[in-house]
Copies of this chain bind each other. A is one copy, B any other.
Amino acid sequence: MIKYPNKKETFTATKISSKNRGMVFENVINETNEFYLNNNIAVIHKKPIPIQIVKVDYPSRSSAVIKEAYYKVPSTTDYNGVYKSKYIDFEAKETNNLTSFPLQNIHLHQIKHLEDIHDQGGIAFILVYFKKLDEVYYLSISNLLNFVQRSNKGRKSITLDEFKHYGHYIKEGFNPRIDYLKIVDNYIKGSLWAFFYFSSILSYSFS
């Protein structure tokens, strides 16, 4: 039997329990992504849960039963895909808190991953669901990083007011349920204008 170091085990355990709480939010996001896919808007999928397989039985030639396996700490985020040629990557989290979102709910390597994505020109963000308020917020990695930096010497959470100020509230709809790509559109438009601006300067200086 593979023994993880104790710390990691606890780590995984917290992850699993928070996964459970997130079940409904997860379904809402999956439905949203299905809508995007079926309407040729975007191709965004949830990644499978990473599992360490230890023992497999073959009761017959055609079937395999995994008899021993362990949850692994995910090294990346839950969702990624493509929208309008852009790479999209995000993590979805939820909290029972009423006034703030604790930063410890996101693994540090997931934040690092989102930062890497951003540096490569991808669109990286988190979606946070305040369960008891039934409100979803979008927060870009750039803004998230500011709060992570602050947490090194001060507050270790992001307040609801900060989400309202630095993030974007996403009103729940019928279909798609959580139209987060509407927010992504603003970021794409922003970078497109920058590109056209740059192109026009370029073509001006060459003409």
Question: Which residues of A does B touch, CB under 8 Å?
Answer: 2, 4-6, 8-13, 15-16, 37, 40, 42-43, 45, 47-56, 58, 61-72, 75-76, 80-89, 113, 116-117, 119-122, 196, 199-200, 203
Given the known inter-chain contacts A43-B113, A48-B49, please indicate yes or no for A66 contacting B69, CB distance below 8 A.
Answer: yes
A-B contact pairs, 26 of them (CB 8 A): A4-B63, A9-B63, A12-B54, A12-B56, A12-B63, A13-B63, A16-B64, A40-B116, A43-B122, A45-B76, A47-B48, A48-B50, A51-B69, A64-B71, A65-B70, A66-B66, A66-B69, A67-B67, A82-B89, A82-B117, A82-B120, A85-B86, A85-B120, A85-B121, A85-B122, A199-B203
- Asked if A9 contacts B85 (CB within 8 A), the reply is no
Complex Cα spacing A6 to B60, Å: 12
Complex Cα spacing A105 to B200, Å: 48
Copies of this protein in the assembly total 2
Complex Cα spacing A70 to B62, Å: 12
**A68 CB contacts on chain B under 8 angstroms:** 65-67
- Asked if A66 contacts B76 (CB within 8 A), the reply is no
Q: Which of A50, A63, A86 has the largest number of chain B CB atoms within 10 A?
A: A63
- Asked if A71 contacts B82 (CB within 8 A), the reply is no
Given the known inter-chain contacts A12-B64, A66-B68, please indicate yes or no for A82 contacting B122, CB distance below 8 A.
Answer: yes
**A85 CB contacts on chain B under 8 angstroms:** 86-87, 120-122
Complex Cα spacing A23 to B1, Å: 22
Instruction: List 6 other contacts, CB 8 Å, given A2-B72, A12-B64, A40-B116.
Output: A9-B62, A16-B64, A51-B69, A65-B70, A66-B66, A83-B120
